[in-house]
Amino acid sequence: MIHFVNSIEEIPEYPLSRTILIDDSMQSERDVIDRIEQALDSPYDKDNWDGFNDVLRDLQWLKESQVVLIHKSLPRLTSRDLRIYLEILESVSSLWADKDRWLAQHRALWCLVDEELAKLADSYNYIDFHVYFLVDDKEKIDFFLPGKFPQPEVKGKRAPATHIGDIFEIPLPGDRKRYMQFIIVDSSQLGAWTVRVFKKEYSIEDQPSIDSIIDDRVDFYMNTRALGVGILEGLWSRYGKSDNLGNMNKVVFRCYHDGLGFSPSRWWVWKAAQPVKRYKILPLWYLSAAEGSMSPPYGVVHRIVTGRWFPFTNLYDDYKTAPLIDKIRIRGIGKITDKYIVPKRPAKTRKG
């Protein structure tokens, strides 16, 4: 089974088990394979991921009936090798957790009849296979295998308070990180919390000063909420604080409101915490303004990693690069001119 814990101290004791610790001191495929195979007293000397996968699916030489693999941190592998490693652990954990699946696999592999399969099942040592990760590594794991691993439980914990000026460190795949700052509560967008995300990317070992972070160019602004929940879920951590909140006149949002009857003013543009201006047609000098709707905490990380506001085809991400036919199909775009984006108006309905 796959488990997520907030700290190593939360892991229960497993008597009569083989317990293996994994951390970032392992920096290659061979390091990981050798560490685990030696801890398991493997009779095989496998030197690639396919062989390693076979070892974890066998384990019949063990006297113990439990294997516990604890990740104090993820091994420092290349993106390709880390993906393969996580895929193997997810697959092996699922296999050991499902006896019927294991039997079906071996029936097909060895062409066993029912009687032979029953004898094998009686003599086989089924392993209780547990893999532990830290909650802090969940975001990176989900980046490589989205939806494959269970969500960590955060019951009984309250999200920490956050304040204007707080600076947050956001870990990214490939041992990289970025920084963002909570700068204002946007009263023009349901009291959303506005953050600015800085452009420079750092190595995970770097410890930049607050001044160097603040002096960096801003990549984008975004409206979100629940920054403390982002800490609780391991999306980011608090790094420091600064009273320098930047130039608020540069914080410009735009939003397209569909489904407002026959109102012609569907484009809304505003600076953070300032009155909203409404446009029938959006001047193209606002085309680079930030998308202003309120996003969940994960939306910030999604925007950094993918460069997109949304995971689906949409007006904000796809207008500039889309061919003409796709521009017409994007929601809310009708007539296209040189200076404006004109929202498509709904067809009038006949009365009576």
Which 3 state secondary structure label does DSSP give 256? Answer: strand
Beta partners for 19? 68
pLDDT at residue 115 greater than cutoff 80: no
- Which amino acid is present at 111? C
Q: Is the pLDDT of residue 62 over 90?
A: no
Residue with tokens 């317990």: 19
How far apart are the C-alpha atoms of 238 and 231, rounded to whole Å?
A: 8
Collapsing DSSP states into helix, strand and coil, what is residue 247?
coil
pTM of the model: 0.51
Specify the higher pLDDT residue, 17 or 337: 17
Q: Tell me the torsion sign for CA atoms 300, 305, 307, 308.
A: negative
pLDDT by residue (tens digit) across 149-164? Answer: 776 665 556 778 899 9
Question: What pLDDT score was predicted for residue 274?
Answer: 86
Strands (E), the chain: 2-5, 18-22, 66-71, 128-134, 166-172, 176-186, 192-198, 202-203, 218-224, 237-241, 252-256, 267-271, 277-279, 282-283, 290-291, 333-336, 340-343
Summarised one tens digit per residue, pLDDT across range 175-203 is: 899 999 999 988 877 788 999 999 999 99
Question: Which residues, in sequence order, are bridge partners of residue 295?
Answer: 224
* pLDDT tens digits along 28-44: 999 999 999 999 888 87
Q: What percent of the chain has pLDDT over 70?
A: 78
